[in-house]
Chains A and B, each alone.
Chain A
């Protein structure tokens, strides 16, 4: 991840076979939206904190028998009741980040947003600088 921070423009984060967040490299590292991305960034080792290991509690789900709803809900510290029932769609936020998480459901129109199609497929666009 350190190498990616130095090397890439845009990062897509996957969890359990699905894209959970797509954003510019700065947004991924400075203000990650998806709880998985947040925990992933927090788990990176740094020279600031010695003997601090922040792994993500729990285990990656079985892909043969994936959990219903959001794939991350069994490990998510912010999981809500409906996370275990409804699969979140990848939605484009006003900030330009795309995230698939029910935490951000009210904030945007999730039916059809630019950059994503209904099945969560990512359209590759040139990075804007």
Chain B
């Protein structure tokens, strides 16, 4: 397996100079790989502050890791040559959460579509540029004549978000990092945008990293999933196993708190206690919220136990399972061919 985009033992700490005690570890020793051989859709889920967006920003090269390395096609992102970096910038495309912040209010929306075309010299003529933009807009369900020539404030949040998907499409990327791409659009549009992202993967072979707090859409769209809790992997593996039969108490809590679109299905009774602020973490980070907490959880960091071929969980409940030797959590990910033939069961 060769890595297209790879995080290797990446830790990111925010804040805190030498004399400051105010340090936040946003991400701790995370390793995973997006494969070159086969494109797939991987979800990263977790609550606010779990480090999801930090992963996206690291992978885009927007921030540098405190420890560890990020590789694109085997090259360290921090040490790329200009040519390599330009290729990286074109082939790894973001779709961000907030379609209100990404636009410059002084420019018409055309600007955000024209800049990448001219920067990467994708079009030979103005006519070609026009047809590329029209095709990309049509693909995400926008009417070019009603979209182009307008200012961002004249469009709805859903329209702006689809422009961002269209912008990513223009560059024919290898990887799309979608950070909460549908959290600000309505339900029918969400299905349409997710379908187009799914299509990009299945038809154009673009690898997708889908970052979300919405487990239902993560289940719908992705092959594999990583559940982060305060910067560490709580559970990971095939989405079928992890969502349908969660093992880690944190994943169970997340899956149980999905609001079902059925008023007769009551919401889970299981809630978590509010974590103790600034508790010095010497063991499992989830210990203070966990309803299965044991004595050893407080002072021992749980290793990643490999429960079966398609699942890893960092929890002392599974101490009878073998400890996963490889640091790279994507080792337990199911390849798409394995999934289409026989769905890996959670048992």
Q: Which residues of A contact B (CB under 8 A)?
A: 1-3, 5-7, 25-26, 29-30, 39-41, 43-47, 49-56, 59, 62
Q: Is the pair A5, B260 in contact by a Cβ cutoff of 8 Å?
A: yes
Q: Is the pair B221, A51 in contact by a Cβ cutoff of 8 Å?
A: yes
Residues from 191 to 235 in B contacting A, C-beta threshold 8 Å? 191-192, 194-195, 198, 214, 216-217, 219-221
Q: Which residues of B contact A (CB under 8 A)?
A: 141-143, 146, 187-192, 194-195, 198, 214, 216-217, 219-221, 240, 243-244, 258-264, 266-267
- Number of residue pairs across A and B with beta carbons under 8 Å? 81
Q: Is the pair A45, B217 in contact by a Cβ cutoff of 8 Å?
A: yes
Distance from A59 Cβ to chain B, minimum over Cβ atoms (Å): 6
Partner of B262, one of A5, A7, A39, A54: A5
Given contacts A6-B267, A26-B264, contact A52 B220 (CB under 8 A): yes
The secondary structure that dominates the B interface is helix
Distance from B259 Cβ to chain A, minimum over Cβ atoms (Å): 4
**Roughly how many angstroms separate A43 CA and B195 CA in the complex, as a whole number?**
11
A-B contact sample (20 more), CB < 8 A, given A6-B266, A46-B260, A55-B191 = A2-B258, A2-B260, A2-B261, A5-B260, A5-B261, A26-B263, A29-B263, A43-B187, A45-B190, A45-B217, A47-B258, A49-B220, A50-B219, A50-B240, A51-B221, A53-B220, A55-B192, A56-B191, A56-B192, A59-B141
Distance from A76 Cβ to chain B, minimum over Cβ atoms (Å): 13
B192 contact set on A, CB distance < 8 A: 53, 55-56
Max chain B C-beta neighbours (<10 A), residue from A7, A51, A53: A53
Distance from A20 Cβ to chain B, minimum over Cβ atoms (Å): 13
Distance from A117 Cβ to chain B, minimum over Cβ atoms (Å): 28
**A7 closest partner in B (C-beta):** B259
A–B complex contacts, Cβ < 8 Å, 14 sampled: A1-B261, A6-B259, A29-B263, A30-B264, A41-B261, A43-B191, A44-B261, A46-B260, A51-B198, A52-B220, A53-B194, A53-B195, A55-B190, A56-B192
